[in-house]
Amino acid sequence: EAQVTQNPRYLITVTGKKLTVTCSQNMNHEYMSWYRQDPGLGLRQIYYSMNVEVTDKGDVPEGYKVSRKEKRNFPLILESPSPNQTSLYFCASSYSTGTSRYEQYFGPGTRLTVT
């Protein structure tokens, strides 16, 4: 089954404690992206990757890091989480050319709470 998986699905942590949210896709997609979803603000892009070892900032990158060492994986790293990073996070993937790049497949989401 073609899918994007994220782990963990739910996470409660404390300010300053480093954490990683994993994302993996099995569709051989080149393009991967992280979004955060907040009430009243919709979906905002954090980082994206056009392919292995190629990453770039989205609209709200502050406080986040990413890496793309393998095509299928795109982890999101919060080195020193703060309460304003409490949010619902989505990983997405797609092919990288033409309209296919915008036919993004989203993971099920990770609900993060930082206290």
Partner 1 sequence: QQQVKQSPQSLIVQKGGISIINCAYENTAFDYFPWYQQFPGKGPALLIAIRPDVSEKKEGRFTISFNKSAKQFSLHIMDSQPGDSATYFCAASRISGGGADGLTFGKGTHLIIQP
Q: Which residues bind partner 1 (CB under 8 A)?
A: 4, 33, 40-45, 48, 50, 56, 58-59, 90, 92, 98-99, 101-109
Minimum gap (Å) between residue 48 Cβ and partner 1: 6
Instruction: Identify which of residues 16 and 96 has a Cβ nearer to partner 1 in the complex.
Output: 96
Residue 17: CB minimum distance to partner 1, A: 26
**CB nearer to partner 1: pick between 69 and 102:** 102
* Of 3 and 15, CB closest to partner 1: 3
Cβ-based neighbours of 6, under 8 Å, separated by 6 or more: 21, 22, 23, 89, 90, 91, 107, 108, 109, 110
With respect to partner 1, which residue has the nearer C-beta, 17 or 23?
23
What is the smallest separation between the CB atom of 50 and partner 1, expressed in angstroms? 6
User: 36: closest CA among 55, 62, 67?
Assistant: 62
17-37 core/surface letters (b: 16 or more CB in 10 A; e: else):
eebebebbbeeebbbbbbbbe
Residue 33 and residue 54: Cα distance in Å, rounded? Answer: 12
